[in-house]
């Protein structure tokens, strides 16, 4: 069985995000970029499934500019077998991303697709669900525990009421939550080996033929309003009095 892992290049989660002066987007010049943290968890889970003997190959794919090869090479250094870059110099919204990934899925015929539940740059949480719908296969989202065999996957999902365990028939789409695992540390020898692993580059146009490109037009980015300074009180009674004055109790 093949496992396809979809990842995204994002501003590193440790970096303070700044909006461009003209409001046209997020400033990325000279900013550290990394694999989306939820996608790192997806890579780790795919590698663990392969190491258990259930899968034979882990393929990692991303949609983005040529410099996204850096994140693909990191995924290869973690242990993925090969990588695919769908090259695009424009921002890709969820439906177009899912359509492009569907083209790769149809070509590679994976038994399982794993991806992060959302990207930390746009927080849309849409692409996994859209891909499953387009592929017409089962899905399990927000997965915090996963057990896979040759024909099914048992997934524990994090939902509002607690935890929910479901079984899906493979092939299927899985989206990962933070508590699923802890990604492994990449070692220098693995980074060197990753340079020799295959990385294919294809054009976005080759994967979205016939796609009706009617997407949201994002016109302006703004930084959030600064938070008000906190207020220190001397006692619980002062706190209760202040809350009453604000109509909160």
Residue 91 has pLDDT above 90, yes or no: no
Residue 57 has pLDDT above 90, yes or no: yes
| Coil/strand/helix, residue 108 | helix
Instruction: Give the span between the Cα atoms of 17 and 27, in whole angstroms.
Output: 7
pLDDT of residue 18: 87
Measured in degrees and rounded to the nearest 5, phi and psi for residue 113 equal: -115, 125
For the 2-245 domain, the top CATH level (class) is alpha beta
Measured in degrees and rounded to the nearest 5, phi and psi for residue 76 equal: -65, -35
Average pLDDT, the chain: 93
Among 113, 153, 159, residue whose Cα is nearest residue 132: 113
For 5-52, the DSSP string reads EEE-EEE-TTSPP-B-TTSSSB--TT--EEE-HHHHHHHHHHHHHHHT
| Three-class SS of 167-190 | EEECCEEEEECHHHCCCCCCCHHH
pLDDT of residue 72: 97
Instruction: Give the span between the Cα atoms of 239 and 180, in whole angstroms.
Output: 40
Sheet containing strand 139-148, edge to edge, reads 162-169, 152-159, 139-148, 172-176, 112-116, 2-7, 57-64, 82-87, 199-203
pTM: 0.87
Q: Please count the other Cβ atoms lying within 10 Å of the Cβ belonging to residue 198.
A: 10
What is the mean pLDDT of the segment spanning 200-225?
85
Instruction: Give the span between the Cα atoms of 4 and 109, in whole angstroms.
Output: 9
Q: Hey, where are the domains in the chain?
A: 2-245
Rg over CA atoms, the chain = 21
pLDDT band at 225 (very low <50, low <70, confident <90, very high): confident
197 within 8 A of 137, measured Cβ to Cβ: no
DSSP label at residue 60: E
């Amino acid at each position: 069985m093949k496992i396809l892992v979809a990842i995204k290049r994002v501003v590193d989660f440790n970096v303070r995000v700044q909006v461009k002066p003209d409001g046209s987007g997020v400033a990325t010049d000279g900013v550290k970029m990394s694999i989306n943290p939820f996608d790192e968890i997806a890579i780790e889970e795919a590698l663990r499934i392969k190491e258990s003997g259930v899968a034979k190959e882990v393929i990692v794919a991303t949609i983005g500019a040529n410099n996204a090869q850096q994140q693909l090479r990191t995924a290869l250094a973690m242990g993925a077998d090969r990588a695919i870059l769908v090259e695009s110099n424009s921002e890709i919204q969820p439906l177009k991303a899912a359509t492009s990934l569907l083209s790769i899925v149809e070509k590679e015929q994976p038994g399982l697709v794993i991806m992060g539940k959302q990207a930390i740059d746009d927080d849309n949480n849409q692409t996994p669900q859209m891909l499953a719908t387009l592929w017409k296969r089962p899905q399990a989202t927000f997965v915090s525990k996963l057990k896979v065999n040759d024909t099914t996957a048992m997934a524990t999902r994090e939902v509002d009421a607690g935890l929910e365990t479901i079984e899906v028939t493979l092939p299927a789409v899985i989206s990962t939550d933070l508590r699923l695992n802890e990604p492994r540390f990449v070692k220098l020898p693995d980074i060197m080996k990753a340079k020799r692993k295959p990385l294919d580059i294809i054009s976005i146009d080759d994967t979205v033929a016939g796609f009706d490109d009617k997407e949201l037009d994002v016109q302006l980015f703004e930084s959030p309003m600064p938070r008000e300074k906190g207020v220190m009180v001397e006692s619980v009674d002062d706190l209760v009095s202040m809350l009453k004055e604000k109509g909160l109790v």
